[in-house]
Amino acid sequence: MKNIVLLGSTGSIGTNTLDIVAKFPEQFRVVGLTAGTNDEKLEEQLRVFKPTAVALSDEAAAAKLRARCKGASVQILSGVEGVAQVARLPEADLVISAIVGGAGLVPTLAAIRARKNVALANKEPMVMAGKLMQEEARRHGVRIFPVDSEHSAIFQSMEGHRREDIRRLILTASGGPLWELTREQMQHVKPEQALRHPNWKMGAKITIDSATLMNKGLEVVEARWLFDIPPSQIEVLIHRESIVHSLVEYRDGSVIAQLGLPDMRTPISYAMNYPARMPLEPPPLDLAGIGKLTFFRPDHDRFPCLGFGYEALLTGGTMPATLNAANEIAVAAYLNHGIGFLRIGEVIQATMEAHSPRDVTSLEDALEADRWARTKAETLVRQCLS
Amino acid sequence: MKNIVLLGSTGSIGTNTLDIVAKFPEQFRVVGLTAGTNDEKLEEQLRVFKPTAVALSDEAAAAKLRARCKGASVQILSGVEGVAQVARLPEADLVISAIVGGAGLVPTLAAIRARKNVALANKEPMVMAGKLMQEEARRHGVRIFPVDSEHSAIFQSMEGHRREDIRRLILTASGGPLWELTREQMQHVKPEQALRHPNWKMGAKITIDSATLMNKGLEVVEARWLFDIPPSQIEVLIHRESIVHSLVEYRDGSVIAQLGLPDMRTPISYAMNYPARMPLEPPPLDLAGIGKLTFFRPDHDRFPCLGFGYEALLTGGTMPATLNAANEIAVAAYLNHGIGFLRIGEVIQATMEAHSPRDVTSLEDALEADRWARTKAETLVRQCLS
């Protein structure tokens, strides 16, 4: 029996994770759940899974939940510190970090420092402070298991092989919903269209990141730190069908890849139960039925955001955190305030250009860059709208 | 420094193996070489690699070689026992078994019984006596590493993962040079056409096996014994481009595959140097340049030989050895005596139907079935020609 804490339980990864727990109750016990603002969904979940403690980062939502759960044995915490406290629950064996965006950094680091193994579905902490995260993981003797489908694929393709034999990591990208469009056409893309991902059903933020290919740029940064591989050995390959989730090339010419139908329960369960696989028994992968798998080179002209990931790594220090924060602000502005689709990349680029990078030697360094970049990006967004 | 014996040094796998040894002389020393009849090529090889002993299974060829190598320090053996003696050389660490056809069985088993690890490029021993080979390997504490590209792919896709989690092995098949033809058209196919393999440069026998898909039928049998997986969990997938060399599906829906440009040096070197990979540094796999990978279901009506592998496994005992021997005779008759292409399958089927299978509890059981099937198949071939 493994005791798990699930950070971000009401999102797409969170609900998929709880599906797995519900299917294998003899293997997992949920001891902690956290969410942002969705007190109603969290309440449903806590009544089913009966955790020791839950937290909502939003104070008002937590107050509502407390009012409705009077007399229940669950401890209801709130705020950033409440979420971090759940991440540190003494009885937890594994913390699944599935919070969207930079908000995941503090509680994920709290889990690591409390000597919890982490299943990381939230790529932003690695982008903001990857080096620090890995140093802390080493210092506290814990492992970080990737949950992102591409990074899980890389991880699975490295298992049983020597890392000194690796030549390249090849991250696949579906190309997203706008792969066929010209820059001209992208200018006028509305959120409804950009949110229509061809293969994966995901949250809004990550789906827009797929449309700009920023998602892949962030994944390059994530891969760099997760696997300790320099960016010059990380490549991106467009693969429209999202069947080959990523590949690792070795120096003898052999390429190991992980494939599967798009189903997040596979990488989630692998991270939860590593090294054993869970009998999810989904339909077999019918490659003959699929017929063909196609591959293209990424197009940096139409999708400049991909390059930002490499640039941020090259500069190093606080630049990836800046990139990430600017992207979060720009995507939110696109979704909620109607800045043009191409403005997302422009806001990110201008924020990065205005940033004076410094080393990340502490959590505060990353958070400070994050705050600075949010403010800067918000200013730029206001200029777009005026 | 690893001391290797190479059985079948003058064939396609043999020369590829010696290329690797020549490139990495500090890692491998050739202590023994054997061939069938090609004394001239063996002489060239022994003058370059300076083994302790060599053997030619053909006595006349060995006599010629002895006459030319008077005074050389190499021991020149001959006949089946001579080849087996080289396979047992005390100083050998690894025996690479690359003899074509059933002739590989006796020396490969001799190597296993002399406690040598074996790199098996020769599928026929596993087809003829797979269960016995594995029992002997276990008893003598040695490992058998696959060299066939498909089996190496399966092996590489199993490394680091738990075998109890395996759901299916998926062997890929190029479909060979005649994949597009109707049965009607196949009737008139001449060896020149059947020998034109789209992706792999291999010996004549195995190339014809690819044209009939018998090669894949034999590989199913080989996989069954190499990996101890029942035939119901082994599938065949047509993949024209020969880039995905084979795949393993696990019970969580994850599929691990090994890919690469068709180059036998990759699986050979992996078997020679396991678990480390050798810096062959071939050109990177350019999937975007290749553009697409296609997959089809195998067609048992046009290619009945594929089914014979499954049937032989189902019957068990001496049936796979019978299948293999009948195929060798039929292929030789097609190449050298002009029986029709479709006769190959008919000769195999008639031989199998006429066979009364029994258990294989000793090498002699397999060899007796082999002899019986050769005689029977030769009779059938003569009937085709009369």
Report residue A230: phi and psi, to 5°.
-65, 150
**Residue ranges of chain A that CATH labels 3.40.50.720:** 2-146
- Distance of alpha carbon B212 from alpha carbon B208, whole angstroms: 6
Q: Which residues of A297-319 are buried (b: 16+ CB within 10 A; e: fewer)?
A: ebeeeebbbbbbbbbbbeeebbb
pLDDT in tens, A347-368: 999 999 999 999 999 999 999 9
Helices (H), chain B: 12-23, 39-49, 59-68, 79-87, 105-113, 124-139, 149-158, 183-186, 191-194, 204-212, 214-226, 265-273, 287-290, 304-315, 319-337, 343-354, 363-385
Question: Residue B288 and residue A247: Cβ atoms within 8 Å?
Answer: no
Question: Residue B252 and residue A269: Cβ atoms within 8 Å?
Answer: yes
**Residue B253: its chain A contacts at CB < 8 A?**
260-261, 263, 265-266, 280-282, 285
Taking one residue from A and the other from B, the number of pairs with CB-CB distance under 8 angstroms is: 162
Q: In terms of pLDDT, which residue wins out, A71 or A13?
A: A13
CA dihedral of residues B191, B192, B193, B199 (deg, nearest 10):
110
- Distance of alpha carbon B213 from alpha carbon B307, whole angstroms: 9
Which tokens belong to A249?
Answer: 């090339």
The pTM score is 0.96
Q: How confident is the model at residue B384 (pLDDT cuts 50, 70, 90)?
A: confident
Q: How confident is the model at residue B386 (pLDDT cuts 50, 70, 90)?
A: confident
The answer to whether residue B150 neighbours chain A at the CB level (below 8 Å) is no
- Please determine, for residue B202, whether its predicted confidence score (pLDDT) is greater than 80: no
The answer to whether residue A299 neighbours chain B at the CB level (below 8 Å) is no
Q: Which of residues 254-273 of A touch B (CB under 8 A)?
A: 254-261, 263, 265-266, 269-270
Element of type H or E holding B34 = strand B28-35
The answer to whether residue A23 neighbours chain B at the CB level (below 8 Å) is no
**Residue ranges of chain B that CATH labels 1.10.1740.10:** 316-386
Element of type H or E holding A218 = helix A214-227
Mean pLDDT value across residues A180-200: 89
Question: Residue B266 and residue A258: Cβ atoms within 8 Å?
Answer: no
Question: Residue B251 and residue A278: Cβ atoms within 8 Å?
Answer: yes
Q: Least CB-CB distance to A260: which of B161, B253, B277?
A: B253
- Contact partners, residue B173, CB within 8 Å, separation at least 6: B210, B213, B215, B216, B236, B237, B238, B239, B298, B306
Tell me, what's the pLDDT at B329? Answer: 96
The answer to whether residue A278 neighbours chain B at the CB level (below 8 Å) is yes
Tell me, what's the pLDDT at A48? Answer: 97
Q: How confident is the model at residue A319 (pLDDT cuts 50, 70, 90)?
A: very high
Tell me, what's the pLDDT at B197? Answer: 76
Strand partners, A124: none
CB A286 within 8 A of CB A329: no
The answer to whether residue A54 neighbours chain B at the CB level (below 8 Å) is no
Yes or no: domain A316-386 corresponds to CATH 1.10.1740.10: yes
Yes or no: domain B2-146 corresponds to CATH 3.40.50.720: yes
Mean pLDDT value across residues A68-92: 95
